[in-house]
Amino acid sequence: MPKLSEKTIVLLVILFSVCFVSLLWFLNQKNSVGIPSSIGCTEEVKICPDSSTVGRSGINCEFTPCLESSTNSNISDWKTYQQNYFNFRYPPDFVSQPEQRYDDRYQQDFFDSQNEYVLSIVEYPNFNQKTSKPYVDEDEFIGLNYPQDKLIIGNRIGTKVCPRAGCEDMFDVIFSTDIKKSFYALSLQVGNHNQLVPEEELKKGKQVFTKILSTFKFTKQ
């Protein structure tokens, strides 16, 4: 095998050095100019019109587009609940009950004709009686000592408390407006709270609730 000349060896060393430096430069640009090697998006979910949910993904952590569906056309006969700051739609066989005002909350319930569900919207004043100050956020208001799932309601982030141990048959979301004068809880109770609800009924109830959430709109922030 013929020996490499000194000139050839020098050229190979220079070529290797150039390639190595170029590789280092590329890796540095990738991490500093905006081509992240890994993406860590927040974990809240968005409710789609067909009652499915999508999360954030991609470099910009945008919500994955909802699949096109004709499901939303099925709500053309749904009723509308209107409040000062928001509105949402609910199934036509749900009947609103008399408004209830308590010392610590205002509550509006809706019963369906088959007595399968109770839909409720509850308003709580933003006032912590222990500190005599407003609550900082939904997590402090809820008061649980472990993280809660987040989801998009309207154009805001809400906190999902149920289902969990003790409220396996309920779906809900806690949210507030920008002015944070009150916290609101929108919930759907499935079946009789004192009886075990079959899994199939819970699945159906979740679809009803997420479909209601998909119609939610803030009229004022």
- Whole-prediction pTM: 0.70
Domain span including residue 4: 1-38
Give the per-residue pLDDT at 167: 86
Give the per-residue pLDDT at 125: 94
Give the per-residue pLDDT at 180: 81
Residue 51 and residue 14 share a domain: no
What DSSP designation does 73 have?
A: G
Partners of 172 in the β-ladder: 187
Residue 8 and residue 67 share a domain: no
Q: What is the mean pLDDT of each run of 10 residues along the chain (221 residues)?
A: 63 68 62 50 68 70 66 79 93 95 93 94 93 91 88 88 86 88 94 83 93 90 58
Residue 131 and residue 70 share a domain: yes
Residue 142 and residue 90 share a domain: yes
Residue 131 and residue 89 share a domain: yes
Give the per-residue pLDDT at 195: 79
Give the per-residue pLDDT at 9: 67
Burial 34-43 (b: 16+ CB within 10 A, else e): eeeeeeeeee
Residue 194 and residue 85 share a domain: yes
